[in-house]
Every structure is written in structure tokens, then in C-alpha cells.
Amino acid sequence: MNDTRPAESATQALLPYLRMETAELVGRIQAVRDAWGPRLVILGHHYQRDEVIAMTDLRGDSYQLSESAAANEDCRAIVFCGVRFMAETADILANRPRMREKRGGQRVDVILPDLEAGCSMADLADVDQVEACWSELAEVIDVEDVTPVTYVNSVAGVKAFCGRHGGIVCTSAGAAAVLEWAFARRGRVVFFPDQHLGRNTALAMEIPIEQIPVWDPTQAPLGGNSEAAIAGSRVILWRGHCSVHQVFLPEHVRDVRRRFADVKVIVHPECMHEVVAEADMAGSTGQIIRAVKAAPPGARWAIGTELNLVNRLRQEHPEQEIHYLAPTVGVCPTMFLIDLPRLCWSLENLAAGTPVNVIRVDNETARWALVALERMLEVK
């Protein structure tokens, strides 16, 4: 994978934008939007800050955003206010062969306003580590009987690995259906890169915890496991996690129940199992939003997910009482790197014909990652 970088230092290029007032930035961003019309789609993940969300065409979960923008035949450029793996997925989907054909062979540039906006979870599983894991597993078990499954929050190379080895991608909402699909074909699963989503899903399917070992790529041999543990496994979890959802603890659930009568606790399945077990409901970002939207006036919630989203739900539903579950702040630090100056800078470079921070997945990686993504779409 490669990306186009500006000839001058991004920091130097950004300085004039960092000095601008918000009103000027908003006006200049809107001018590019008006000039490009439907050829430009600006995407905003739910965890983005409000002022960025206000300038986007679509907001949502990472995969939903990528698929929606990629299906737009008028689109010629996507600016993704999210993190790198999201921009990679958008590039894979927007530039798949059938979509390029519909656009007369034209590529869609996918731009990430800040190249440092990565994902700590995705970065915990790189393709070299995954390949090494697979080779080690092959010395103990028959890997032809193992389905590699990767959460959509993963780098393109890991998605491609799964595509090459008969595996699949999953979203948080679709993880259970994907594991059922995998077990209908093979006896075991190795799940990248979020151990908590994998564990919560497997336990909900009544797979015993003894059959769910964790593979730590920093530990040898066998990711810190015995041969017996691997031989007796059904779901092998990669030792990864989301830094945002790691802040939520079981005592936070117990404390909020003491403080607020009739509170409903809803958390993301990237939270540790001890938190999910004490909550009333675990659901994806979209499921959390839908639960709040469907609740009657006066409903009382404590929500365990990223703070920007919780605050936005509180603003959009003043008829309900909405609390953030943890006493400490849980903001996605890399998502927060994207702001109005960086969005404006990237858009004006695009309009000038000198696009910066273009995320482009190499053809071979994109081809196999698309196989894994399309398998996910077939799973109901």
C-alpha cells in the first residue's frame, strides 16, 4: 500500500489553515463542496468531533460509510474523516473492477485528512505477524480446518490474508453470523484482531472458555499457548483490543446502577467480557444508536462507547437521560487528529489538482481483501 504525500512538509503546509478562524474554514470547505457537487463525498465516522461531522455528506460506521460512498457512480473523490483502515476499505470498494467499469475506468481518490490517523487495534495485527501465526499453527493442527476471520477494523493486508485462506471479514453487528458461517465449513476459527469482540461472540454461542485461547504475537512458542490448548481450541483469539473500549470496567456498570434507578446499560462488544456480562445489552455503534432512537421519552441510559458519540446522542435526544459509563474520558485519539484545518487543507489540495494523503491499496492486496469482504456480504 502507498499514499501520496505532499512535496512540502504537511506541518508547514497546514500552518495557514491552523491560524484560520472556524467561520473561514467552514466557508472554504463549503466552497469546495459546492464546486465539486456529487463528484465529492465526505464521510464522517460516528466518533468524529461535531464540527467535522457538520461538514460531512454521510456519517455512520466504517463499513457502512465505505459501501455507501463506493456505490455512488457519480463519485470521483472520497474524503474519509476516520482512520486509515477505513480509508483502505473505501479504496478497495470504490475501485473494485465493476465500479471502475461503471465510471469508465476512472479511479476514485480516497483521501485521509491526516496520515497519522491510524487505529491502535488494527495496528496490533500486521500481516507478517499473522503469516507467522498461521505457519506456527500448521505445525500443531490442520490449518485446512481453520477459517481466518478478521474484524473490519483491520489493515488491508490482514483482510487479504483472510481472502487467500478461505476466510472472511466481519462487522461487530455481524460477528455471530460470520462465526456460524465459518463453523458450517470448518472446525476452528482464528479471529483477528480484537480479542473482546471474538470472545463475547464465541461465549454467546456457548463455546466453552477453555476452547477460546488467546494468541499473543509477542510470546513464543504458539503465542504463549501449549500444544494441548491449541489442539483443543475452537476459536483462537488474537491479542488485540480497542483503546477506547478498554477503559470500561465492571465496577463502572455497578456504580452507575447504584447512582441511577432504572438505568439501562448498553455497551459496545469491543468491551471486555466482564463488562458485557454486567450490561443490559451489547451492540455495535449502529445498534446503540437505534436503541436510543427507539426508546421512549424519559428513558435513562448509561452508554459504554466513544465519548463523542455519547455526547451527540445526548444532544440529539434531550427527552432522554443519557450518561457516559466511565468516569474517565474515552475519545479515539487518532480519530481526533482530524479537524477542520486538516479537512480544509486536504479539500483545497484536491480542488487544485494536487491531492494529498491519497490512500491506495495495491492491486493484489485489494483483490484478495475484496474476496473476504464479498464473502461477508453473502452472510445473512
Asked if residue 349 and residue 320 are part of one domain, the reply reads no
Distance separating alpha carbons of residues 228 and 208, to the nearest angstrom:
15
Residue 102 burial (CB count, 10 A): 11
Is residue 209 located within the same domain as residue 130?
Answer: yes
Number of domains in the chain: 3
Element of type H or E holding 135: helix 127-138
* 153 belongs to a structural domain: yes
**Boundary of a domain, candidates 198, 213, 241:** 241
Q: What is the pLDDT along the chain (380 residues), one digit of tens a residue?
A: 454 544 457 778 899 999 999 999 999 999 999 999 999 999 999 999 999 999 999 998 888 888 888 888 899 999 999 999 999 999 999 999 999 999 999 999 999 999 999 999 999 999 999 999 999 999 999 999 999 999 999 999 999 999 999 999 999 999 999 999 999 999 999 999 999 999 999 999 999 999 999 999 999 999 999 999 999 999 999 999 999 999 999 999 999 999 999 999 999 999 999 999 999 999 999 999 999 999 999 999 999 999 999 999 999 999 999 999 999 877 888 899 999 999 999 999 999 999 999 999 999 999 999 999 999 999 96
- Residue 378 located in a structural domain: no
Cα separation, 367 vs 165, in Å, equals 13
Give the residue from 380, 378, 200 showing the smallest Cα distance to 284.
Answer: 200
Whether residues 165 and 250 share a domain: the answer is no
Which residue, 241, 271, 298, sits at the end of a domain?
241
What is the C-alpha R_g of the chain?
21
Other Cβ atoms within 10 Å of 15 Cβ, number? 11
The answer on 284 and 339 residing in a single domain is no
d(CA 187, CA 237): 15
160 Rama class: left (phi>0) / alpha (psi -120 to 50) / beta:
alpha
Residue 61's CATH number = 3.40.50.10800
- 344: cell is 480544509
Angle, helices 22-36/340-351, rounded to nearest 10 degrees:
40
Full 3-state SS string of 79-120: EEECCHHHHHHHHHHHCCHHHHHHCCCCCCEEECCCCCCCCH
Domain with 298, as residue range(s), is: 245-324
Its pTM stands at 0.94
* Domain end marker among 241, 259, 278: 241
Domain contains 379? no
C-alpha cell at 367: 483483490
Residue 58 in grid coordinates: 454521510
Q: Are residues 234 and 250 in the same domain?
A: no
Cis geometry, peptide bond prior to residue 297 (ω within 30 degrees of 0)? no
Q: In this structure, are 100 and 194 located in the same domain?
A: no
Closest CA to 346 of 48, 44, 110: 110
Q: Is residue 380 part of a domain?
A: no
The β-bridge relationship of strands 168-170 and 235-238 is unpaired
